[in-house]
């Protein structure tokens, strides 16, 4: 196998083998696998630093190093074919097609790089979350991105402060799996949730776990479909996020709200206070609304 890889890299294989087998065939196989990652269960394990690291490393190998090996071997095989067989036209056509293949493979890697970067930001955040317990000891406030390790930290804080009755979530989102873990902790301790500056994206998955859910009238709830549902998944919903929306439905969120959520796609949707209340996402508002938004509460 190693000898075969080296021969292709050096351009020593017949041109038809280099192009049809190692170029077209291998690319078709990788595309087929990519399009069925969810069905094969290969999109799992992305909820830990080790899982994200493995995902990114595998992507670099499969979407950068392997394509480089493919294309360079094809170009060298074409040069050798032109020199030894004496049919430069076939070699030039193959190299032209290989150039097109290179562009397509590069676009695939750019798509992966965006999702890989998002995953690495969650696994190894530059600025992550922090929390603090109020002076009275009854309120625990979480601020910043929901990244790996937050749920464990909150559990430790609750163990040290058993009098906490409410978790305040002021976050723009982060890891869905970590938010789900945090939600489980909130439910297990029968805690209320609220937000004073805003709760969006994955943050809402933790917020919905509150026994009583409150929101400062000047804050907003932001919803959207995941921006990185797992490289290679097709369709508007990944299996994991479809299950998450199913959980919201089990909490009493009506179909009209979930359909509007799905229709928002990857663009943020900020429901009006009335919509949040009708859907049961927020059970009570407090404090003055934003200037000019009083009518939204009617």
Same domain for 19 and 150?
no
Same domain for 116 and 253?
no
pLDDT band per the 50, 70, 90 thresholds, residue 229: very low
pLDDT band per the 50, 70, 90 thresholds, residue 180: very high
Average pLDDT, integer, range 180-204: 97
Say whether pLDDT at 153 is over 60.
yes
Same domain for 149 and 111?
no
On average, the pLDDT of the chain sits at 86
Question: Any idea what the CATH number is for the domain that residue 280 is in?
Answer: 3.90.226.10
Of residues 253, 254, 205, the one with CA closest to residue 226? 205
Q: Where does the chain show beta strands of DSSP type E?
A: 130-133, 139-143, 166-170, 192-194, 199-200, 214-216, 221-222, 284-286
- Count up the domains in the chain and report the number: 2
Average pLDDT, integer, range 95-118: 81
Final residue in a domain of this structure, among 101, 123, 145: 123
C-alpha pair distances (Å), 15 with each of 22, 97, 177, 251: 10, 13, 47, 60
The Cα–Cα gap between 203 and 201 comes to 5
Same domain for 277 and 137?
yes
Same domain for 40 and 147?
no
Same domain for 138 and 97?
no
> Where is average pLDDT lowest: 29-38, 62-71, 124-133, 248-257?
29-38
Tens-place pLDDT, residues 41-84: 555 556 667 777 887 888 888 888 988 999 999 999 988 888 88
The DSSP-derived string for 57-77 is HHHHIIIIIHHHHHHHHHHHH
Same domain for 60 and 140?
no
Same domain for 215 and 267?
yes
Same domain for 59 and 152?
no
Average pLDDT, integer, range 112-134: 75
- The model's pTM is 0.72
Write down the pLDDT at residue 33: 73
Q: Which domain holds residue 222?
A: 130-297
Final residue in a domain of this structure, among 70, 105, 123: 123
Average pLDDT, integer, range 214-237: 76
Say whether pLDDT at 31 is over 70.
yes
Same domain for 98 and 73?
yes
| Residue 135, both tokens | 């002076």
Average pLDDT, integer, range 230-239: 59
Final residue in a domain of this structure, among 84, 104, 123: 123
Same domain for 282 and 140?
yes
> Where is average pLDDT lowest: 65-79, 87-101, 213-227, 236-250?
87-101
Same domain for 117 and 146?
no
């Amino acid at each position: 196998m190693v000898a075969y890889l080296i021969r292709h890299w050096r351009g020593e294989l017949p041109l038809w083998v280099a192009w049809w087998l190692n170029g077209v065939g291998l690319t078709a196989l990788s595309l087929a696998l990519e399009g069925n990652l969810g069905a094969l269960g290969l999109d799992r394990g992305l909820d830990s630093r080790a899982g994200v690291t493995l995902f990114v490393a595998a992507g670099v190998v499969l979407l950068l190093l392997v394509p480089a090996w493919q294309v360079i071997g094809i170009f060298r095989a074409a040069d050798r074919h032109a020199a030894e067989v004496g049919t430069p036209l076939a070699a030039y056509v193959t190299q032209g097609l290989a150039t097109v293949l290179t562009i397509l493979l590069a676009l695939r890697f750019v798509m992966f790089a965006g999702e890989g970067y998002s995953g690495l930001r969650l696994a190894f955040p530059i600025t992550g979350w922090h929390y603090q317990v109020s002076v009275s000891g009854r309120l625990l406030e979480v601020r910043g991105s929901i990244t790996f390790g937050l749920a464990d930290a909150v559990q430790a804080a609750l163990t040290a402060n058993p009098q906490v009755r409410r978790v305040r979530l002021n976050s723009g989102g982060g890891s869905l799996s970590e938010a789900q873990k945090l939600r489980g902790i909130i439910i297990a301790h029968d805690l209320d949730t609220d937000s004073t500056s805003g709760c969006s994206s994955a943050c809402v998955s933790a917020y919905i776990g509150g026994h009583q859910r409150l929101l400062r009238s000047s804050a907003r709830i932001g919803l959207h479909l995941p921006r990185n549902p797992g490289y290679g998944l097709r369709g508007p919903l990944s299996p994991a996020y479809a299950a998450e929306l199913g959980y919201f439905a089990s909490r009493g969120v009506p179909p009209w709200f979930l359909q509007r959520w799905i229709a928002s796609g990857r663009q943020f949707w900020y429901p009006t206070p009335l919509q949040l209340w009708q859907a049961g996402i927020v059970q009570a508002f407090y404090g003055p609304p934003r200037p000019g938004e009083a009518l939204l509460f009617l």
